[in-house]
Amino acid sequence: MLPTASDLWSIGPELWLAGLGLLVLLVDLFTAPGRKVAAGAIAVGGLLLTLIPASAMLAWDPRTAFFGSYAVDGFAVFFKILTVIATALVILAAMDSLRSRFEGEFYALLVFTALGLVLMAGSADLILLALSIEFVSLTSYVLAGFLKANPKSNEAGIKYFLFGAAASAVMFFGFSIVYGLAGSTNLYDIAVRLRTAPQPALYLSVALMLAGFGFKISMVPFHQWTPDVYEGAPTPVAAFLSVASKAAGFAALVRMLLVAIDPARVDWVLLLSILAAVTMTLGNLLALPQRNIKRMLAYSSISHAGFILIGVAAFRGDFGTPGLLIYLLGYTFTQLGAFFVAVLVGAQLRSDDIPDYAGLSRRAPVSAFLMAVFMLSLTGLPPTAVFIGKFYVLGAAIETGLLWLAVVGIINSVISLYYYVGVIRAMYVMPATSETPIPEPPALQVALGIAGLGTLIIGLYPQPIIDLAKNATLLLRL
């Protein structure tokens, strides 16, 4: 059987991203060295155009394409939009700082990775999900080790590859158990057939699959790769991995648990609640002594993965899944903005150490102000985007009887204030070693401005985002 015209329309954004990636490679091939930024500009423009067909899908009725293997619902479309926005901002931020004869390939790899992340969010078949995850993994390994002359970047690529290969192998073993129990790779068929499956085998498969998904979202105890990879990878790549890759990992995790596993009456909520508590606590405690901004943001991202997991564990309430989506969107703008300031400081001062941010408020006042906003948002203070996300996920925990988990989350928010405010203290209180102004490149400033606006607008006027998140919780289920 051949795919129908409806199937092809359903993957319009995906086809556009594939064509855009090839176009960027073609432009790079015919562009002289030193002018590769043109490939980046085309990539950003093409990504923004992708938002048009993706946004139009928000009004569609939920459906599946390609014989039930690919879901086109509000949930998948939300992550398509989030991934495209994040990728465009990362490329924009990298255009001024990345100067390499492989610059065009860098932009193309980001576009192709975005394609894989979009496919992950909509996969409704174990085979398609596995292929999407591996596609994203392969391009991510290359991006992490992109700076071939930098030993830390080489180390990041190798560590990411080794940890990723092990996690994928364990996860696919879990997939094989599910397939053996259900006799199908389609998530909707699996949801029906697992209802009579033996519980011990189901629990084993869930545990094995959590290893792979936990790697993607930096969940404890599968987080070990995160600080080393974020530190060694090019800073724009670290920003991309910390938001887009994490968001797609959550999308795949939620679809697997809610669509395929939950109908089988497997009680995975307690396990995920414990993992959420351990993840946010360990991430926070390990972030406290960090002096490198990228390592600090890496451990911070582990902690935020724990907070987002609260929304997964509390999915049965009215606030759970919307809270997860709100949190991810707000976190995307905030985390990207923080990394973009790190891109600026790293490129101009050749340092990622937090003490070298001393006096940044006088040397780059706009970037320092935005960095302060991002740090306060990551803490979860109003009126910022992450505050709205934390309000929703903690409310979801209370609503579903997980009061103890909400208390753990509040305590961790207080702990995180220490190391986030430490960055603000360095920028505004510590004396500067030099009064020379730091150049703020235009493309990076545009990306920073968009991230700052997103962080503040979601915090000050969250209702449109709340409505969007509630509509996007339309997860195609049986």
Residue 367 parent element (H or E): helix 365-379
Q: How far apart are CA 392 and CA 421, in angstroms?
A: 24
pTM higher than 0.85, yes or no? yes
Q: How far apart are CA 130 and CA 135, in angstroms?
A: 9
* Average pLDDT over every residue of 311-328: 87
Question: 115 pLDDT band (50/70/90 cuts)?
Answer: very high
Q: How far apart are CA 435 and CA 91, in angstroms?
A: 30
pLDDT at 137 over 90: yes
293: which 2 tokens?
């901004």
Give burial (CB, 10 Å; 0-12/13-18/19+) of 447: buried
pLDDT at 7 over 90: no
- The residues with which 64 forms a beta bridge, in sequence order, are 71
Contacts for 87 with CB less than 8 Å, ≥ 6 apart: 47, 110, 111, 113, 114, 240, 244
* Average pLDDT over every residue of 155-166: 92
Q: Which of 84, 101, 420 is nearest to 283 (CA)?
A: 420
Question: 57 pLDDT band (50/70/90 cuts)?
Answer: confident
pLDDT at 102 over 90: no
Round the average pLDDT of the chain to a whole number and report it: 90
pLDDT for the residue 417: 93
Backbone angles phi, psi at 125, to 5 degrees: -145, 140
pLDDT for the residue 478: 46
Q: Residue holding tokens 């590859």?
A: 161
CB 124 within 8 A of CB 477: no
Question: 103 pLDDT band (50/70/90 cuts)?
Answer: confident
Sequence spans of domains, the chain: 268-478
pLDDT for the residue 476: 57
Q: Which of 333, 310, 335 is nearest to 323 (CA)?
A: 310
Q: How far apart are CA 51 and CA 30, in angstroms?
A: 27
64: which 2 tokens?
């599946």
pLDDT for the residue 98: 75
CB 195 within 8 A of CB 181: no
pLDDT for the residue 74: 87
pLDDT at 112 over 60: yes
CB 426 within 8 A of CB 355: yes
Give burial (CB, 10 Å; 0-12/13-18/19+) of 379: buried
Q: Report the chain's C-alpha Rg in angstroms.
A: 21
* Average pLDDT over every residue of 5-31: 89
Rounded to an integer, what is the distance from CA 282 to the centroid of its chain?
19
Q: Residue holding tokens 């869930």?
A: 206
The runs of H, that is alpha helices, within 183-319 are 187-193, 199-217, 225-232, 235-240, 246-255, 269-287, 293-313
pLDDT at 345 over 80: yes
CB 473 within 8 A of CB 322: yes
Q: Which residue has the higher pLDDT, 103 or 22?
A: 22
* Average pLDDT over every residue of 163-170: 92
Give burial (CB, 10 Å; 0-12/13-18/19+) of 316: middle
3-state helix vs strand vs coil in the chain, percent to 5: 75, 0, 20
Q: Residue holding tokens 């905030």?
A: 334
* Average pLDDT over every residue of 274-290: 94
* Average pLDDT over every residue of 13-21: 94
* Average pLDDT over every residue of 59-75: 85
Q: Which of 323, 310, 328, 316 is nearest to 403 (CA)?
A: 310
Q: How far apart are CA 231 and CA 233, in angstroms?
A: 6
Q: Residue holding tokens 């910022």?
A: 384
pLDDT for the residue 100: 66
Q: Which residue has the higher pLDDT, 429 or 432?
A: 429
Q: Which of 458, 79, 50 is nearest to 247 (CA)?
A: 79
pLDDT digits (tens, 9 = 90+) for 358-412: 989 888 999 999 999 999 999 999 999 999 999 999 999 999 989 999 999 999 9
Q: How far apart are CA 362 and CA 379, in angstroms?
A: 24
